[in-house]
Every structure is written in C-alpha cells, then in structure tokens.
Structure 1
Amino acid sequence: MKKIVFFALVSSFLMSGCTTNKNETNASLSTTEAAQIWHKKREKPFGTYDYKDLETDEEAIALLEDKFQLALPTFYKEAKQLVEKTLIDKENQEQSGERYDLFVNDVTVTFLTTYQCQQAGEPSFEATIELKYLFDSGKKRVQLDTQTLLIRNVSQTDSTLLLDKIPIFVEKSTDLLKIGDVTNGLEEYQQQYETNKGNLPQQTVVVWENAKEAAAKKSVLKSIQLYFDTESVAREFYCNISDRTD
C-alpha cells in the first residue's frame, strides 16, 4: 500500500483549541470537534517563503502568528509533550536534535517541528509534528487543514524499536485526538499482526479512523495508522486530524 506522507499549520489567536468564526462552523460538530478546527477570513495569498532550520519554535510561531496571521492549535503543544514524555526516556533514547521549518507558498503554509533521537550513539527515532494551512481564494478564507504527528523508526539495526512502543503510542494518541477508547482497534491490529506472523510488507494498518462518518457528516476526520516497510518492519506511526467540514 501507499506510504503515508504529510505537512503543516498555525495562527493569530492562542486559545483552548482553535478559534473559528461561528457562522462558518458546521452546526453538527461537537464541542470537541469545533475546538479542533480553525477558519478565518483572508483576502490575499501568503506569498512564497522558505524559513529553514529556525533557531526555536518560538521564532516559527511568531512568524505564523504575526506575519501570516494564523493560529496555533493545542494539538501542537500536546504532540510535543507526547513525544518528549513517551519517546525520549533519557536512559535509552536521547534527543540528538530538534529542527523547525516553515514552508510557504501562495495557498499553503506548512510548519514542521522534527525531533531526532539516538540510542547508543546511533539514530533511532525521528518524530515530526506537521501543521498545514490552506488559503481558498474563492471563499476568501484560510483554514487549518491538517494536524499530524509522524513517528518513524530510522534505526538500521533494531527492527522492533517502533513495534514495542505501539501500545503506548496508541494510548497517548487517543488523548491527543480526543477520541476516547480505541481498545478494539488495537486488539484488531494485534490479531492481524499475529495471524500474519508479522508478515505485513508495505502495508498500512488502520488502528482507528472515522473517515466514513467524517465524510457523511462533513466533520473532523481523525486517524491512527501504522506503516510496515518492504521487510515487514514497523517503520511509521501516524496520527492525524483533518478538517473535512466543507
């Protein structure tokens, strides 16, 4: 199956969740869903800019909020906490670097925060938080389109590195996505893994997703997925929030 790829977001208001104009919000959204999306009127395109390897995320956030008039969702801070509390244990996994990038074109702003981790001096994990904003010139509006956390096993020697942490990543992602219990989805994944004896080459396994419901109700799509590479190594863990209210 096709490998998951992703990209970024941010804004001028800092609030619990994301601020959105009430007249633009789908009335069927729950309070939780409404807090996870953000729309704002905008007349002009963003222009074209590349801000690579910024010194701090404060610098990137200042550009998002001040220069591009975008809002930062609570997802960003919570995803950082998830990475720092569950991925970096300081005994086995040490943080070897952190990078902040902001890529802008006329209709898209993408904010990437990437953590590099190492174990015994060798690369182990890479975690990327991506926020992506879209400008619609026809509607004269900008929205926070996707919010994504991607954790990758980049080790060349330890094939079980990510596999061993899947249960804890899934558990913490339920809080990040605000979706409640996903026990059934985790059990189905474990059963699928055992049935195939770990032989899942180039497969994406959906642990939890509300794609059909989000499409039918024009609401917020949320997803937790795993990707296995050509050698059946659990290579990527992915959780995402996407605005499907249009």
Structure 2
Amino acid sequence: MAANPIRQKLLADIEQAGGWEQVFERVASGESQTAIAASMGVSQGFFSRVMHLDAERVRAFREAKRLWAITLVERTGDLVNNVKENRDSIAKVSEVAAHNRWEAGKWDRELFGEDKGDVNVNVTNIAALHVDALRHRIVEASPPLAAPPSHAPVPGAILGAVPTESPVPDAPAAVERHGVDGDADAGTLWCHDCRRNDCRHAKHEYARQAQAYAEHQPTGPRLLRGLV
C-alpha cells in the first residue's frame, strides 16, 4: 500500500528521535499531537492512526496525557496566584483556568473531572475560587459610581435644614382613657367607656359628686347642673 512507506519512514524517524518513549515525554510536557506530527513531517491524523496500531502505545499516550493534566493544573495555580488585580487580567486568567480545567478533566477524570454525585475539591476548583475572589476584590476596591444629577426641585425646607445629632423622638402614643371624668356642677361629665354623658356611669358620678359637695358644704343652697 502507498501508505506503508510513509508509515515505515515515520516509525524510523521516531526511533531515530529516541523512540516512542521520547514521544510520550513530549506529550507529558504539553506538546500537542499536531506539533509532534508536524516535526515528523506527517499530519496529526496519520500520526494518531499509526500510534493507535499498538494498544501499548495508546496506553502510554494516555498516561502521558494524565501526567500533563497534573502539570497543567499546577501551572494554572501559578498563573492565578500571580495575576494582576485588574479586570482585564482577571477575565483572561479566568478563561484560561476554565479551559485548563476542562482539559485536565478530560485526561484525568478521576482526579480532575466533575462527579455529578459529589463535589471534588481539587486544584482547579481552588483556582476558580481564587479568580472569583480577586474579581470581588476589584469590584469592592472600585470607587462607587456617582449618582445621576436630579432635575427635581429641592424643597426649601430641606435646603434650610440644620442637621441634628439625633432624630426627633416620635410623639408618645395616645393613652386610652376609661371611666367618668368632668365636673357635675359645670355639666361636663363624660363617660369614656360608653362615650356618653347620660349613661348610668355618668349618673353615678353625678350623684357621688353631689354627695361629696353636700358633706363638705353643709350650709347654703347649691344648684347642681348636669343630668336631668
């Protein structure tokens, strides 16, 4: 087949460059298949097909990618810890951290993937939280936006008001009154319970005041005005 000479040349070039172990070292260092294939003079697709002809090579490739996932997470942590505290830098780092988290989870789901039934606290989670914390610090440190000018007229009372140290206390609540009060002689008796001046309570108070007056003023006639 026409592809066999190309495949044989690729295998020979790999052996000359240090063998598949060297290829997987490059993978573990973060070099992509596309870049490795280009260095060998073939396409990424052809390189991948040749690698997948051997199950052991596929296993070694995946192990190299898992090692790269760990390195990627460590690099992301360094990137987040050293980000400048401004909106543009934080936004960019946040996007990079999200992509790195996705890539790390793709190659090592057990360590970095998201389990729907559990919450994994790993370096990528911490990196995302750190980015969020920095974003909040930027927002809190930013000066507040000035309120838009109001065109509504300002009442004169507000313009001339003098600030006081404490607000004026509220007026005490009205106390509900009971019983009968007033003067029988002046005809001002009033029953607060019945809200009338001719109820039995008012009449009783009229009689009481008349008796009290008679006891303290035994001489001279007195005309009591009030109830008839």
Using the size of structure 2 for normalisation, the TM-score is 0.22
Choose between structure 1 and 2 for higher RCO, CA contacts under 8 A separated by at least 6 residues: 1
Looking at secondary structure, tell me which structure has more strand per residue.
1
